Structures are given as structure tokens and as C-alpha cells.
Amino acid sequence: MDASAAKLIGAGIAAIGMGLAAIGVGTLFAFFLSGALRNPAAADSQRPNLIFGFAVTEALGIFAFLVALLLLFAV
Amino acid sequence: MDASAAKLIGAGIAAIGMGLAAIGVGTLFAFFLSGALRNPAAADSQRPNLIFGFAVTEALGIFAFLVALLLLFAV
Amino acid sequence: MDASAAKLIGAGIAAIGMGLAAIGVGTLFAFFLSGALRNPAAADSQRPNLIFGFAVTEALGIFAFLVALLLLFAV
């Protein structure tokens, strides 16, 4: 296998990382919604933690997307 | 393996990322529905968080789909 | 490996994504049914959220199916 073929396979494998990050983001919001529906009065107080947790979790998926794009177009 | 073959295998591997993102989206709605059935009166108040969480989780799956389409038709 | 062989392997790998999406759809309906059996009176009120969540989760699996079909018949 030469390098021009390996980078295309590598980009496909990097897409697995995006899907795995989506599991993390989905689980994060799932538990927030579960707790917020149990105690709606406190939901707004935990909004900053939700957004911060979402941002750092989504960032890992975006980094995997960046790796895929780098493999496709930059390397 | 040459590049024309590697991009086809890479597109197939990228489809795994879509399926993994579906686990995240399914978990998100699953916990929302579980909580909304426990406390239906508060379901509407958490609708914005549901939609926001769904959008960012689905986006990661769409990014994986984008990588698959790039591998199939653009690279 | 030449391209005509790689597309067949890629289509098979894309089917993994469909199966993973089925985990998300199954989890979604599982939690809905669990909550609906606990509080049957509220089940109808959450039917729209159930259908919306099912549609977007199933869509990711359909996208994986689309990638498999593209690999088999279009590329």
C-alpha cells in the first residue's frame, strides 16, 4: 500500500472518532435532560456546566474531523 | 492497494462513524423521553436544550457522512 | 487490491454503521416504552418527540445504507 492510498483509509478511520465523540455529547445531554426534567427549577443554574461540558466534548469530535480533513487535503 | 481502491474502503469505514453518532442521538432522545414521561409538565421547558443537544450531536454524524461523500466523490 | 474488490469490502463495512444506528433506535424506543408503561396517561403527549427522535436517529442509519448502496451501484 502506498501513501496516497493509506491517507484515504486513514480519513475513513478518523470518521469513527467523530462518531464516538457523538456518543459522548449525546450521553452528556441525555443525563442533563434527565436531571433537568426531574428538577426543572435547578436546570438554569446548571446551564453553564452543560455548555462547558458540551464544548470540550464536541471539541474532541471536531479534532477528529480536523484530522480527517488534514488527511484528505493537507498531507 | 492503489488510491482508487483505498477511497472506497475509507468511505465504508466512515459509515461506521455515522452509526456511532446515531447511538448518541438515540441516547439523547431516550433519556429526554424517559424524563418527559415522568414529569410531562416540564417537558416543554427543556425542549430548547433537547433541540440544541440533538443538533450538535447530529452534526458530528453529518460530518462523518461528509467525510464519506468526500472520499467517494471529491478526493 | 483493485477498486472493484475494494468497493465490495467497503459496502460490507458500511453495513456495520447500520447496525450501530439500530442500537440508537432501539435505545430510544426502549426508554420511551419504559416511561410510557410507568405513566401511560402521558404517553400520547410525548408521541411527537418520539417520532422526531426516531426519524433523525434512523436517518443516520439510512445515510450509512446510502453509502453502502453508492459503493455497490454508483461508484
C-alpha cell at C53: 427522535
Q: What is the pLDDT of residues C41-67, one digit of tens each?
A: 999 999 999 999 999 999 999 999 999
Q: What is the pLDDT of residues C66-75, one digit of tens each?
A: 999 999 999 8
Please count the other Cβ atoms lying within 10 Å of the Cβ belonging to residue A42: 10
pTM for the whole structure = 0.93
Q: Residue B1 has what pLDDT? A: 82
| b/e code B29-54 from CB counts within 10 Å (16+ = b) | bbbbbbbbbbbbebbeebeebbeebb
**pLDDT above 70 coverage of chain A, percent:** 100
Q: What is the pLDDT of residues A3-28, one digit of tens each?
A: 999 999 999 999 999 999 999 999 99
Percentages helix, strand, coil for chain C, rounded to the nearest 5? 95, 0, 5
Say if residue A1's pLDDT is above 90.
Answer: no
Residues from A contacting B (CB-CB < 8 Å) are: 1-2, 4-6, 8-38, 40, 43, 50, 54, 58, 61, 65, 68, 72
Domains identified in chain A and CATH numbers: 3-73 (1.20.20.10)
Chain B nearest CA to C69, separation (Å): 10
Which chain C residue lies closest to B23 (C-alpha atoms)? Answer: C24
C-alpha torsion sign, points B69, B71, B73, C3 = negative
Which chain A residue lies closest to B16 (C-alpha atoms)? Answer: A16
